[in-house]
A = this chain, B = another copy of it.
Amino acid sequence: MSTDSDIEPNRGPEPTLEQPETEPPTPADDDGESTPNDHPESTADPDGEDSTEETTPAEGVPDEPPASFRATIQAAYLKTALSSLRALVDEARIRVTEDGLTVRAVDSANVAMDDLELEAAAFESFEASPGTLGLNLDRLADPVRLASKDDLVQLFLDPESGKLIVVVDGLRYSMACIDSKTIRAEPTLPEFDLSAAVTVDRDALQRGVKAADLVADHVRLRMEAGVDALVIEAEGDTDAVTLELDGDDIEVLAAGEASTLFNLDYCKKLVRTIPAGTPVTLDLGEDFPLILSYELADGDGAITRMLAPRIET
């Protein structure tokens, strides 16, 4: 694990998703403290810079709300972005610039992370000055859920009340923002040099995860050097499942050696919140975090999701 990462593997056989000892004293003071390197065999390439969450993830965007923010987006795009983030966190710092939105969030157990971007081009219209919106994502999802797939959702910050106004087909929802500094700071992004990469349809992943769920509470993803196949497998006390994806089902980008065990509950959350039919690129290593990447907003946005491995003891 890279020394500047907040993502930590959870240890088996009983995964500990609650790791209070690794929590920063207060969320706002989270400074990407280093953790012991759990992977002697690691090929990761940590950048070693003393980066902090103040500058790295937000790229200099102030923590204060933007002076102006007004945007219109297809409901389907917003729904996908929200359900991905809500798989991990309830509240998030939405970083706003003239170029669009970015959000980076890690779940409370430091096991999974989302790094999401919606470019200005993803919106029907987008006008904003730099700043940060602190939002309760569950509340934002409420009015968005009332939108039909083809509806447009208008978002704008009311400078007087400081509230975010969400307009959906004549319905106007006014929601209080949260002081972004009270929301847990963004983690720094670890960097890895992973040896295997493959693109696969989300529905195939969903099938493997569902099958694994029949027999175990963890799942292994595996590739062999030089072999064009992704293997999803799970082993319970008496029964086992294996789903081998090959041929037209996958596109192997790097046929390296890879095998890592993951907590199944996290896999289910991550895969469930990827829209059906989405091509997903997986980067895999040997007992390294899994990186899932896919496009948002028909290519005008992207999300990178990271899941820490479950280390067998």
Q: Mark A58-97, 1 if CB is under 8 A from B, else 0.
A: 0000000000000000000000000000000000000000
Q: Which of A105-113, A120-128, A234-242, A275-283 contacts B (4 or more CB under 8 A)?
A: A234-242
Most B CB within 10 A of own CB, among A215, A244, A245 = A215
As for how many copies of this chain the complex holds, the number is 3
Q: A170 interface residue, CB < 8 Å from B?
A: yes
Chain B residues with CB under 8 Å of A215's CB are 173
Q: A143 to chain B: closest CB distance in Å? A: 7
Is B142's CB under 8 angstroms from A214's CB?
A: yes
Q: Mark A152-181, 1 if CB is under 8 A from B, else 0.
A: 000000000000000000111111100000
Is B173's CB under 8 angstroms from A211's CB?
A: yes
Residues of A contacting B: mostly: mixed
Given known contacts A239-B139, A243-B170, A244-B170, A210 and B175 CB-to-CB distance under 8 angstroms = no
Is B242's CB under 8 angstroms from A176's CB?
A: no
Given known contacts A142-B214, A214-B143, A239 and B172 CB-to-CB distance under 8 angstroms = no
The 7 lowest CB-CB distance pairs between A and B, nearest first, are A176-B238, A142-B214, A172-B242, A174-B240, A175-B239, A171-B243, A173-B241
